């Protein structure tokens, strides 16, 4: 079934320059943007205009002192905000627009102007905390978008799925004490940023609404398929989100220089297909993805395009391939441990 898929991208995102040799460079998006400029792609997707997030919108998730600190880098050729995170003259502009793209993606799918959306942005966001930058991230794009969905659209239940190689510490901390967001993360552990342990499940009203699946590395398509089918799916069906947001990192791709996972473009297509089906069954199809990591330039481009094909419904993973992934999943101790932890709060089969 064909769907209206919005793709949010901008040349401004290429202007953020963290310095020579940095893995989070504009080259991550340049090839993908060239592909999306082809006439065939222009006809497949919607390419809406969008605006930067203003200070009040950013302040839904960040301290104004933090916003001012990042804003203070505007026009400066180089600033070091933390050991991993650097800015150039237009980084603040790009970061505001990245958060604005995530917000616009939410507005599009909630407003029915698109069935789903993918914000192809940089700098990434899921490591950014309330009051500090971290791990290449200036503002937490997906957390700002979720806060916007709650404040401006009155949503009470949002599912955030983070499949990046690295744990989304900033996103977890943003919603650790609320049941209005169910945060589900798969990530390599122990690894940067050091958070995302099995026992981190939330606090207060949010206890049980953070589910971490820390993985040792080396997991492939079949392993991730099993996690999504046997753990994420029953969680989502019980939580019944009104919106699904995805921190889509492609550094779990086999061959990425920062990790040891073994996911392929077929695996990303499969995971996206699971999320599309969940969204269609639970929240009217409302699904928005936001780009996070991914540092092998060629394979990241293929992974993103595979996800876009699943979102649009015009390049679905063949049924035989889907069945093979569903049947091939080996025993996975890390998932079994996460399942037992989740059972303290949810009804999970197995």
Distance CA 175, CA 32 (A): 32
Residue 347 lies in a domain: no
Residue 82 lies in a domain: yes
Residue 120 in contact with residue 304, Cβ under 8 Å?
yes
Residues 6+ apart with CB under 8 A from 64: 55
> Structural domain tally of the chain?
1
**Could you tell me the pTM of the whole model?**
0.98
Expressed as residue numbers, the domain containing 146 is 5-342
Q: What is the pLDDT along the chain (350 residues), one digit of tens a residue?
A: 789 999 999 999 999 999 999 999 999 999 999 999 999 999 999 999 999 999 999 999 999 999 999 999 999 999 999 999 999 999 999 999 999 999 999 999 999 999 999 999 999 999 999 999 999 999 999 999 999 999 999 999 999 999 999 999 999 999 999 999 999 999 999 999 999 999 999 999 999 999 999 999 999 999 999 999 999 999 999 999 999 999 999 999 999 999 999 999 999 999 999 999 999 999 999 999 999 999 998 889 999 999 999 999 987 778 778 878 877 667 899 999 999 999 999 999 98
Q: Hey, which bits of the chain come out as E strands?
A: 5-8, 79-82, 85-87, 116-119, 158-162, 181-188, 210-215, 243-248, 287-291
Residue 350 lies in a domain: no
Residue 267 lies in a domain: yes
CATH of the domain at 44: 3.40.800.20
Residue 151 lies in a domain: yes
Residue 150 lies in a domain: yes
Active-site residue identified among 9, 16, 66, 127: 127
DSSP state of 331: P
Residue 47 lies in a domain: yes
Residue 348 lies in a domain: no
Task: Return the pLDDT at 328.
Answer: 65
- Any catalytic annotation for residue 127? yes
Half-sphere exposure in the Cβ direction for 84 (13 Å, CA) = 15
């Amino acid at each position: 079934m064909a769907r209206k898929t919005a793709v949010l991208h901008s040349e401004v995102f290429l202007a953020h320059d963290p310095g020579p040799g940095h893995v989070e460079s504009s080259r991550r998006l340049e090839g993908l943007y060239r592909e999306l400029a082809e006439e065939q792609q222009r006809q497949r997707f919607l390419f809406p205009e969008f605006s930067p997030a203003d200070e009040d919108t950013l302040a839904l998730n960040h301290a104004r002192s933090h916003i001012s600190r990042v804003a203070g880098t505007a026009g400066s050729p180089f600033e070091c905000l933390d050991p991993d995170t650097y800015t150039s003259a237009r980084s603040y502009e790009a970061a505001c627009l990245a958060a604005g793209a995530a917000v616009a993606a939410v507005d599009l799918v909630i407003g029915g102007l698109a069935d789903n959306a993918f914000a192809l942005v940089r700098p990434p966001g899921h490591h950014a905390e309330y009051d500090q930058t971290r791990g290449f991230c200036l503002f937490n794009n997906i957390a700002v978008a979720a806060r916007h969905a709650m404040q401006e659209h009155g949503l009470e239940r949002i599912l955030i799925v983070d499949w990046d190689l690295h744990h989304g510490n900033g996103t977890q901390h943003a919603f650790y004490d609320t049941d209005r967001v169910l945060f589900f993360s798969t990530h390599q552990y122990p690894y940067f940023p050091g958070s995302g342990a099995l026992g981190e499940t939330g606090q207060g009203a949010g206890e049980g609404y953070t589910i971490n699946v820390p993985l040792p590395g080396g997991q492939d398509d079949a392993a991730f398929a099993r996690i999504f089918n046997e753990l994420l799916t029953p969680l989502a069906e019980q939580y019944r989100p009104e919106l699904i947001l995805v921190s889509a990192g492609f550094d779990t791709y086999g061959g990425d220089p920062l990790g040891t996972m073994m996911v392929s473009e077929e695996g990303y297509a499969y995971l996206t297909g699971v999320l599309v089906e969940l969204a269609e069954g639970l929240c009217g199809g409302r699904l928005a993805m936001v780009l996070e990591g991914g540092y092998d330039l060629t394979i990241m481009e293929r992974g993103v395009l595979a996800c876009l094909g699943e979102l649009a419904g015009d390049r679905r993973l063949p049924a035989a391939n889907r069945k093979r992934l569903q049947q091939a999943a080996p025993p996975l101790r890390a998932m079994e441990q996460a399942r037992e932890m989740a059972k303290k709060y949810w009804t999970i089969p197995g």
